[in-house]
Chains A and B, each alone.
Chain A
Amino acid sequence: MEPKRTRTDIIADMLQAIQNKRGNIKPTHLMYKANLSHAQLKSYLEELVEKELVEKTPNSNNNMYISITDKGHKFVQKWNEMKQFEKSFGL
């Protein structure tokens, strides 16, 4: 059984999901990609915006999109490095 995701795990999953969609994603897509409920998505998004890891941007059709910031990219980079460290050292 997979261990329960920590808060940081969820944030990393969300940011990676945005990265995989070339840096922009619709909130509903993000909800599915990161395996979140609507309430969770709302709460985490607030946190991510506050920490400047993502920003909300409307597109030409006035639909809301979520974009990853440079700070968000750096977070994912550090996250990947940490995951490799855990994998190699058997943590």
Chain B
Amino acid sequence: MINLIYSPQWFYGKDIFIDIISLIVLALISFFAFKYYKFNKEKKNHIYLCISFGLISLSFLFKIMTNFSLYSIERHTAIIGALAFTYNQIHYTNTLFLGGTLIYRLLTIVGLFSLYLLYYPKQRKSSILLLSYFILVTVYFTQFAFYPFHITAFLLLILLAWHCYQNYRVTKDRPALLIFSSFSIIALSQILAVFLMMTKTFYVVSEIVQLLGYSLLLSAFLMVLYYGTKKNKN
């Protein structure tokens, strides 16, 4: 049977809290990108950014719902006793885990991939098709092992971080530096999650690093808003 819960018991709920913060940060950026798209519809980049961040944000919603349900079931089972854990419950939990986790992983990878296409637009159609195929294969295999997902997410995030670094080198913009740092830290959280097979402590470390990454992304975003407003006052 596959391992359904990655978190140690004492960390239940705390990881959900971290994911809620990540979801809010991503949804906020997605919302503002949409607002700017509505303001200037001639530039499609805003809507692509909105969709990419929106997809990753939505993926967190599935992760939160899945984990919340799994933790509730486990707590409930612990209260009424192990004997009450019937075949039906095992079947239901497995289906919930596979369904929820698969959607979470699919949306995350698709979101990151669309962000990659936005940042690296000069791609041949054949390359995009081939990459899409590999993405789907990766997501399919994450049903059986979790690490292909984390490795793929890590690689995509590293490429995104690299683009952000190049952008920072050109613009020397402080929020751009923070965005680069946050993408790098989020990438680190993905590679840390791979070591989860050794001990569940890596899940905790990975989630804390993820919190750090998204907090940094939030501060970068707030700085973007502040700098934008400051420009008006000058």
- CB contacts (< 8 Å) of A38 on chain B: these are none
Q: Which single member of A6, A7, A8, A83 contacts B228 (CB below 8 Å)?
A: A83
- CB contacts (< 8 Å) of B118 on chain A: these are 91
Question: Interface digits, A16-59 against B, CB 8 Å rule (1 contact, 0 not)?
Answer: 00000000000000000000000000000000000000000000
Decide if A88 touches B36 in the complex (CB within 8 Å): no
Q: Is B195 an interface residue (CB 8 A)?
A: no
Q: Is B23 an interface residue (CB 8 A)?
A: no
Decide if A82 touches B179 in the complex (CB within 8 Å): no
- A56–B223 alpha-carbon span in the complex (Å): 37
Decide if B36 touches A85 in the complex (CB within 8 Å): yes
Given A78-B39, A82-B39, A88 and B173 touching (CB < 8 A)? yes
Q: From DSSP, what is the main secondary structure of chain B's interface residues? A: helix
What class of interface size applies to chain B in its complex with A? 20 to 34
- A82–B42 alpha-carbon span in the complex (Å): 13
Q: Is B119 an interface residue (CB 8 A)?
A: yes
Q: Is B111 an interface residue (CB 8 A)?
A: no
- CB contacts (< 8 Å) of A85 on chain B: these are 32-33, 36, 224, 228
- CB contacts (< 8 Å) of B179 on chain A: these are 88-90
Decide if A84 touches B42 in the complex (CB within 8 Å): no
- A66–B70 alpha-carbon span in the complex (Å): 64
* A residues adjacent to B (C-beta < 8 A): 6-8, 76-91
